Amino acid sequence: ALHILKTEKQQALALADAITKLKSTVRQCRQCHNLSETDLCSICTDTRRDKSIICVVEQFKDLIALEKTGLCKWLYHVLGGRIAPLEGIEPQDLTIDHLISRIRSEKVSEVVMATNPTVEGDGTALYISSLIKPLGVKVTRLARGLPGGSQIEFASGAILTDAILGRNPLE
Ligand code: ZN
């Protein structure tokens, strides 16, 4: 706010205009909940991707970090957070129902759980895995190159690369 007070009126108005535009053009992808300016995001409409693999992340910024490795030729599903009962965040507050209906209606062969390696991230992965397994779909988890308690968005490219390549079945 201080920065805006110090800037020229013209600049401040331009900034306000840009924010308004952003708010009205950016929305959630209908399929994966990635941020998008269109109904379906550029990842969901990318024909070179393996549509049989869905990678589940907590937030948009995790998707960005994974995409930067250049290794992920799969689709995503953005949960919009993680299950955190102490903060009042329950499964129904996330996009888990939509994920399950995607898995039911599409030919999915693997779901990669890429929630953060924290207590809540692990708990969320286990909860979702328990819903997916009865559907006969393989569930994997990013390998433990990721230190426990760390955040995917801050992980280095090298650590993420190890984690993606070495993902394990989630028991
Ligand atoms: Zn999408």
pLDDT per residue over 103-160, tens digit each? 999 999 999 999 998 889 999 999 999 999 999 999 998 876 777 777 888 888 877 8
Q: How many CA atoms lie less than 13 Å away from 164 in the CB half-sphere? A: 25
pLDDT at residue 133, as a whole number = 92
Report DSSP letters for 113-169, one per residue: E---SSHHHHHHHHHHHHHHGGGT-EEEE--TTSPTT--GGGS-HHHHHHHHHT-EE
The β-bridge relationship of strands 110-113 and 50-57 is: parallel
Residue 157 and residue 121: Cα distance in Å, rounded? 20
Q: Output the CA 39–ligand 1 centroid distance in Å.
A: 8
Is the alpha carbon torsion for 31, 36, 39, 42 positive or negative? negative
Q: Output the CA 101–ligand 1 centroid distance in Å.
A: 15
Direct distance between the N- and C-terminal alpha carbons of the chain, in angstroms, rounded to an integer: 48
pLDDT per residue over 45-84, tens digit each? 999 999 999 999 999 999 999 999 899 999 999 999 999 9
- Which residues place a Cβ less than 5 A from the ion ligand 1? 29, 31-32, 34, 41, 44
Q: Output the CA 7–ligand 1 centroid distance in Å.
A: 37
Q: Output the CA 168–ligand 1 centroid distance in Å.
A: 25
Q: Output the CA 34–ligand 1 centroid distance in Å.
A: 5
pLDDT at residue 38, as a whole number = 92
Confidence (pTM): 0.79
pLDDT per residue over 23-44, tens digit each? 678 899 999 999 999 999 999 9
Q: Output the CA 33–ligand 1 centroid distance in Å.
A: 6
